[in-house]
């Protein structure tokens, strides 16, 4: 169409990068170029050489300076904010309130991703293989634990045991989990899923985020639980290796 050579060269890759950088974030164009190289390398072995050429490198460097936008990261939750959030539900929280509090505090103290605690909104991605089951739960006086059957960092889908200890300061994740577990077992004694709403459905990401945004400002998101827990551990003197 444009009379360009079929074989990728530094010139055509530079022109492609220029075009794409006018439409999307330049950092994403870097990923696009890497994917193009992976796909074309079996047919055009010199494509990576063209990608690494000074012309393409300088094109990307220039557009990152000219058009790139700063990365906006969500703020980490603090323990004080958790305490205020729990207190906002009053003395008689509902089933769903207790579920939200338990998920929030478990995610914070166990450094879990939101996707490891709730179902995705896309029904095609909802699978029971990744759901935590009630039968995997063990609770004693100072800890609770359960099996996280599969997650994005689990290459062999073997699952991991999530262990959370009682906290001396408020809010206590152990007390919150036990309060939810009691009301959940009373309402649904024969259901297999651990995390269940009052209407007997598994909580989804959109459900959790609606409740989260009803309490916290917009700079708090699902990842803020994990980030806040890691920050809290670091402030307490826990080594980075242990946190990881």
DSSP code of 225?
A: H
Residue 180 confidence class, pLDDT cut points 50, 70, 90: very high
Distance CA 159, CA 167 (A): 25
Mean pLDDT, residues 61-76 taken together: 85
Q: What is the DSSP string of 182-205?
A: HHHHHH-TT--BSS--TTS---BH
Res 46 pLDDT > 90: yes
Mean pLDDT, residues 1-8 taken together: 79
> Which residue's structure tokens are 């974030």?
25
Kindly report the backbone phi and psi dihedral angles of residue 126, in degrees, each rounded to the nearest multiple of 5, phi listed first. Answer: -80, 120
For the chain, report the end-to-end CA distance as a whole number of angstroms. 51
Mean pLDDT, residues 128-132 taken together: 89
pLDDT in tens, 86-108: 999 988 999 999 999 999 999 99
- Which is more confidently placed, 235 or 202? 202
pLDDT at 154: 60
């Amino acid at each position: 169409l444009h009379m360009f050579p079929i074989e990728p060269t530094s010139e055509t890759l530079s022109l492609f990068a220029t075009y794409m950088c006018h439409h999307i974030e330049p950092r994403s164009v870097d990923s696009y170029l890497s994917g193009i190289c992976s796909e074309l390398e079996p047919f055009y072995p010199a494509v990576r050489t063209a990608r690494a050429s000074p012309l393409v490198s300088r094109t990307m460097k220039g557009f990152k300076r000219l058009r790139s936008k700063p990365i906006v990261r969500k703020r980490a939750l603090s323990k004080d904010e958790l305490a205020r959030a729990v207190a906002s539900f009053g003395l008689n929280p509902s089933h769903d309130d207790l579920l939200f509090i338990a998920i929030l505090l478990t995610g914070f103290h166990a450094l879990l991703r939101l996707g490891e605690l709730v179902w995705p909104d896309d029904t095609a991605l909802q699978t029971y293989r990744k759901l935590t089951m009630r039968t995997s739960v063990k609770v004693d006086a100072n800890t609770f634990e359960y099996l996280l059957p599969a997650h994005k960092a689990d290459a062999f889908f073997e699952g991991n045991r999530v262990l959370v200890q009682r906290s001396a300061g408020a809010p206590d994740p152990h007390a919150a989990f036990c309060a939810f577990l009691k009301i959940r077992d009373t309402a649904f004694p024969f259901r297999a899923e651990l995390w269940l709403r009052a209407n007997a459905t598994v909580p989804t990401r959109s459900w959790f985020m609606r409740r989260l945004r009803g309490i916290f400002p917009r700079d708090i998101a699902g990842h803020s639980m994990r980030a806040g827990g890691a920050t809290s551990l670091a402030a307490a003197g826990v080594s980075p290796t242990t946190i990881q």
